[in-house]
């Protein structure tokens, strides 16, 4: 006998996480007769930041039937080829974490191996490692076009994501979800009804006395973590011993004329500053550790560092880095900030939301709630969080900055074993250790290792068989062909004006 299907799913919260979950779940379950409803409180509002993404967002939008042009026009969106890191290795240094891969038409040898040997032979004349990543070359040239499917094309190996206005994205998803049948309830949740025997959530009570019941609850209530924390008391695993940043000032500034197709992350005394170019304005923020920099100092530093006039008063956000021990507890799944927050350095929160939603759909329970489904969900989601945590910690751990206590402490902190082993393996062999459920794969780790100055000691023995002049010459040709290919593209601003200019 087929077990009874879920009758109703209630999404608690209408920020990016809530509306992404409502849209995707509704598409997955509506034909089976399950209703998806969402409750949110306009009086509480949404966190309203979260403007940069990684390339997987494209798959999410595609899966829910949201085409790219509509999305970019509605959200004042721009294209993101990666992140420029400034002053992380030390003041004056910069490098790029580009999306996609380094140009790989080098036979069986990786671009990194070529570059290391060329560097041994001709030093700086081998160019920056960035010069072999099309996304980095295009970003620095301020150019953009979509990748080419043909693997012989210089435009084949890069990928891209988006910058967008988080509030407008939530609004767009809401319109779409409501059109497709999701019912929205406005109101503040003030109480929860639990089944006395099973501890399952039966329903929530709103301030005005209405009761909303469901079989499955998706906790997208943001940092409040209304159900996962407040009702179910699921423990929080704190990452702050490695990632002590716990505040951010955020402020919009005037649009940048040239519209750089990338996020900038600049290391500062007690954290780092983001710059995210949108069509109508630029998003900025200083993410900092309040144990090292006062709120007033951080605010002043951010305002002094803007590339354009501030358009509003800075807004302070407080957070703690870490995650819930389990995300799916009984009949409640926490997704978004209610489930944890790693910190926004690599723009990973929305991709964690996406991973959570996709995983839930593939492990969707029926009314019997087989505990094996929750256990598998929790296992994978925890790995994904912890892999991202390691990747982010590495940005701080490998710094050569020693100008403040914040950076000195980061250089000497004890690392999670999973990260320490990866760093040692790369240092000694040049090999990137990949574990399962990684969001960031080999080229990303290489970009960060090399960018932060970790050059492996060993050279690939197979490279010794190649003519040294040939290696140097092939890299020189590749570098110049990428630069020429980038120069042939429209500027990012021209591309947007032509294809997806937002109104208003």
Ligand X SMILES: Cc1cc2nc3c(=O)[nH]c(=O)nc-3n(C[C@H](O)[C@H](O)[C@H](O)COP(=O)(O)OP(=O)(O)OC[C@H]3O[C@@H](n4cnc5c(N)ncnc54)[C@H](O)[C@@H]3O)c2cc1C
Binding site for ligand X (CB under 6 A): 13-18, 39-41, 44-47, 49-53, 166, 188-189, 220-222, 224, 226, 248, 250, 285, 317, 319, 336-338, 344, 347, 349-350
Closest separation between CB of residue 161 and ligand X, Å?
10
Please say which residue, 52 or 502, places its beta carbon nearer to ligand X: 52
Sheet with 271-277, edge to edge strand ranges: 94-98, 82-86, 263-268, 271-277, 282-288, 247-253, 315-318
Residue 201's DSSP bridge partners are 194
Please say which residue, 210 or 241, places its beta carbon nearer to ligand X: 210
Please say which residue, 16 or 444, places its beta carbon nearer to ligand X: 16
What is the spatial distance between Cα 249 and Cα 316, in angstroms, rounded to a whole number? 5
Tokens of 349: 């929160």
- The verdict on whether 80 is a catalytic residue reads yes
Closest separation between CB of residue 271 and ligand X, Å?
11
What is the spatial distance between Cα 139 and Cα 143, in angstroms, rounded to a whole number? 6
Closest separation between CB of residue 264 and ligand X, Å?
12
> Phi/psi zone of residue 98: left (φ > 0), alpha (ψ -120 to 50 degrees), beta?
beta
Q: Which of 73, 80, 230, 320 does the annotation list as catalytic?
A: 80
Closest separation between CB of residue 479 and ligand X, Å?
31
Closest separation between CB of residue 217 and ligand X, Å?
12
Strands 216-219 and 8-12, how do they pair? parallel
Residue nearest ligand X (C-beta atom): 15
The dihedral sign for the CA sequence 142, 53, 83, 306: positive
Between the alpha carbon of residue 443 and those of residues 27, 98, 347, the distances in Å are 34, 8, 17
- Let me know the angle formed at the C-alpha of 341 by 57 and 278, rounded to the nearest 5 degrees: 45
Please say which residue, 114 or 247, places its beta carbon nearer to ligand X: 247
What is the spatial distance between Cα 260 and Cα 491, in angstroms, rounded to a whole number? 9
User: Do residues 422 and 393 lie in contact, with contact meaning Cβ atoms separated by under 8 Å?
Assistant: no
Give the residue numbers marked as catalytic. 80
């Amino acid at each position: 006998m087929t077990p009874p299907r879920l009758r109703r799913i209630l999404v608690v919260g209408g920020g990016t996480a809530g509306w992404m979950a409502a849209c995707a779940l509704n598409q997955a379950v509506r034909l089976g007769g399950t209703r998806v409803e969402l409750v949110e409180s306009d009086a509480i509002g949404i966190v309203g930041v979260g403007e940069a993404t990684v390339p997987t967002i494209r798959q999410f939008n595609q899966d829910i039937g949201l085409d790219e042009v509509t999305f970019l026009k509605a959200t004042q969106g721009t294209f993101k080829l990666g992140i420029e890191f400034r002053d992380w290795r030390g003041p004056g240094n910069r490098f790029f974490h580009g999306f996609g891969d380094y140009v790989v038409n080098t036979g069986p040898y990786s671009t990194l191996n070529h570059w290391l040997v060329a560097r041994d032979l001709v030093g700086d004349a081998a160019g920056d490692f960035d010069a072999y990543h099309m996304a980095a070359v295009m970003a620095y040239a301020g150019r953009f076009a979509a990748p080419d499917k043909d693997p012989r094309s210089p435009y084949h190996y890069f990928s891209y994501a988006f910058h967008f206005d988080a509030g407008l994205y939530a609004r767009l998803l809401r319109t779409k979800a409501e059109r497709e049948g999701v019912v929205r309830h406005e109101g503040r949740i003030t109480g929860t009804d639990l089944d006395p025997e099973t501890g399952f959530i039966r329903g929530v009570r709103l301030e005005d006395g209405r009761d909303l019941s469901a079989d499955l609850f998706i906790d997208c209530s943001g940092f409040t973590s209304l159900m996962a924390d407040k009702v179910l008391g699921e423990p929080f695993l704190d990452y702050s011993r490695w990632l002590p940043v716990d505040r951010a000032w955020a402020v919009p500034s005037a649009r940048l004329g040239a519209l750089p197709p990338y996020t900038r992350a600049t290391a500062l005394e007690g954290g780092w500053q983001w710059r995210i170019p949108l069509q109508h304005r630029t998003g900025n923020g200083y993410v900092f550790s309040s144990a090292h920099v006062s709120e007033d100092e951080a605010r002043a530093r951010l305002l002094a560092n803007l590339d354009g006039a501030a358009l509003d008063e800075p807004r302070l956000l407080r957070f703690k880095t870490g995650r819930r021990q389990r995300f799916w507890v009984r009949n409640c799944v926490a997704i978004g900030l209610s489930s944890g927050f790693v910190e926004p350095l690599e723009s990973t929160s929305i991709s964690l939301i996406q991973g959570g939603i996709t995983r839930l759909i593939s492990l969707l329970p029926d009314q019997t709630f087989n505990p094996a489904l929750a256990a598998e969900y929790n296992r994978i989601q925890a790995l994904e969080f912890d892999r991202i945590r390691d990747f982010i910690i590495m940005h701080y751990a490998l710094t050569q900055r020693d100008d403040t206590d914040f950076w000195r402490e980061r250089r000497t902190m004890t690392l999670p074993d999973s990260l320490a082993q990866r760093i040692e393996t790369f240092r000694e062999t040049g090999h990137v250790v990949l574990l399962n459920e990684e969001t960031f794969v080999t080229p990303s780790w290489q970009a960060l290792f090399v960018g932060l100055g970790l050059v492996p000691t060993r050279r690939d023995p197979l490279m010794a068989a190649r003519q040294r002049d040939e290696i140097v010459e092939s890299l020189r040709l590749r570098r110049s062909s990428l630069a020429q290919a980038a120069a042939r593209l429209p500027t990012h601003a021209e591309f947007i004006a032509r294809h997806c200019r937002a109104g208003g």
